[in-house]
Amino acid sequence: MFFTYLRRELRRRRKAALVVASGLALGIALVIVVTSVSSGMGKAQDKVLQSLYGLGTDMTVTKAAAPAASSSERPRFQFDAREDGDDSEQSSDRVMVQGFQTLAASTVAKVSAQKGVQGAVGGLSLQVLKVSGQFTRGQFQQDGTGGQQGGPGGNGGSGAPQGEVQGGGANFDVNSYSVYGTDVTEPALGPLTSSKITSGRTFRTTETAARVAVADSAYAKEKKLKVGSTVTVKGVKYTVIGVATADSGDAAANLYLPLKQAQTLADAADKVTTIYVQATDSKKIDTVKSAIQKNVSGTTVTTSADLADTVSGSLSTASSLATSVGRWLSIAVLVAAFLVAGLLTSAAVSRRVREFGTLKALGWKSGRVTRQVVGEAMVNGLLGGALGIALGLAGAYAVTAVSPTLQAQLGGGSGGDGGPGGGPGGGFAGPGRQAAAKTLDVALTAPVSVTTVAVAVGLAVAGGLIAGAFGGWRASRLRPADALRRVE
């Protein structure tokens, strides 16, 4: 009897049911779109942060940057004196530790020993300044007087040739690029993991002291490097075994070398600048951070949550809008939809006074009438939920299909374009990566999770219950006498 009466009433009041369902559908669809876009913002931000850290890295351990170098510590370049007529090119490399102060390699073991740490690996960030060029000897040109200039104040009779030196000088080029020493025995951690090998291969775990290198694709294209090419750093030749392309953002370095080779080049034996840490459980990152800060003195621990505050630009603005404005707008629309659904249901009950009064006169109890009204409202709510989910999925698909491009600006630290950390590929934006601010383009998507759909279904049920509560309360107050007053 319940379902028969329910089906008949919904069929008879299709327009009213559609209005209630449409109102709920609008609110539910907006919630799905805002939630999915917010999720997309989070994924975009994670993608940006991933380009700073490396896959699988939860935090980095560094040591605060040293004070600015004094004049006696600044890079100095010395060139040999050449014999007359020797204008051959000269070059000189300076390999400097970049960004932070170095940490003893033994610190990696201390960090690994902390509770909650699954793995830790050290890396050494270097900046190479190469000055190359040549000196050209000038030519002495006589003035044609043969050195005999008489007259007062002249030098006549001195026999000294008169003239000037013309031409000559120096033509030198300064090239700056970054080198990162990576621990080849731990390939699952470190900045190279955020790049994909697109040509050749990566390091083998046995190549701890091998003179091999992996080049970033952008740097390889600029310098016309390929697998098998040779690069020279501080007089040492390295064979390029692979070319890597960053998954997102800028690469961590122009060249990657085995850690021991990088330490040798920089005269920094058993030193690292950054320790990349992976926690056993992502939920315990804050606990692990506190343990490292407490037990490994003199270090700074940075997590992705700390880095997230440095991401600005349209990505940050859109994320803020989706999180705050969008969420509050969704709540406001939902509240309005629930209230409208309740008021429409209550108004519909008022128009059915004769019907419900007659049913009560025939023996229906107030509870049965209330259940009938709540049942109708629940069906309207579920109908609105289905329609809202369809609209929400369509909206999320449209956002993903369009994939609007957002910009993420990464705030940098010391070592900008004018210092040792600048130049092509110079520096890393993030822990262990001191650089000027960089702007990355990120495509926005709007993934819809099962949880979001479940929330939408819950909202549909809640909307039906709220509307049913309004109508049921109104129906429960009706008396058979009310129906008789409506009889003409």
Instruction: Give the burial class of 146: count Cβ atoms within 10 A of its Cβ; 0-12 exposed, 13-18 middle, 19 or more buried.
Output: exposed
What is the rounded CA–CA span in Å between residue 325 and residue 303? 27
**Residue 60 in domain:** no
Which residues constitute the domain of residue 205? 92-131+173-298
Pull the structure tokens for residue 356. Answer: 């419900």
In a domain, residue 346? The reply is yes
Last residue of a domain, one of 235, 264, 298: 298
Query: Taking 80 as the threshold, does the pLDDT of residue 54 lie above it?
Result: no
Q: What is the pTM of this model?
A: 0.57
CB atoms within 10 A of CB 141: 11
Judgement on whether residues 330 and 467 belong to the same structural domain of the protein: yes
Alpha-carbon distance of 200 to 484, in angstroms, equals 90
Last residue of one domain, picked from the residues 298, 330, 353: 298
The answer to whether residues 479 and 364 belong to one domain is yes
Give the best-scoring range by mean pLDDT among 40-54, 181-195, 401-415: 181-195
336 and 282: one domain? no
End-to-end CA distance of the chain: 29
Secondary structure class of 149 (helix, strand, coil): coil
Taking alpha carbons only, the member of 395, 406, 440 closest to residue 319 is 406
Check residue 433 and report its DSSP letter. B
CA–CA gap between residue 429 and residue 411 (Å, rounded): 7
* pLDDT tens readout for residues 346-370: 776 666 666 666 666 667 776 777 7
Do residues 277 and 319 share a domain?
no
> Does a structural domain hold residue 272?
yes
Query: Are 477 and 352 part of one and the same domain?
Result: yes
Tell me, yes or no, whether 429 lies in a domain.
no
Number of structural domains, the chain?
2
Are 319 and 266 contained in the same domain?
A: no
Q: Would the pLDDT of 410 be above 70?
A: no
Find, among 475, 471, 60, 106, the residue nearest to 299 by Cα. 60
Residue 419 has what pLDDT?
35
Residue 220 pLDDT grade (very low, low, confident, very high; cuts 50, 70, 90): very high
Residue 372 lies in a domain: yes
Q: Give whole-number Cα distances, 484 to 133, 173, 357, in Å.
A: 108, 103, 8
- At 229 the pLDDT is 94
- The answer to whether 247 touches 206, Cβ cutoff 8 Å, is no
Helix (H) / strand (E) element for 344: namely helix 326-350
* Cβ-Cβ contacts under 8 Å for 258 (sequence gap 6 or more): 181, 182, 184, 203, 207, 208, 209, 210, 212
pLDDT at 408 exceeding the cut of 60 = yes
pLDDT of 429 above 80: no
How much helix, strand and coil, in percent to the nearest 5, is found in the chain? Answer: 45, 25, 35
Q: What is the pLDDT of residue 85?
A: 53
Mean pLDDT of the chain: 74
Same domain, 321 and 457: yes
Give the domain-ending residue among 266, 298, 330. 298
Q: Are residues 266 and 384 in the same domain?
A: no
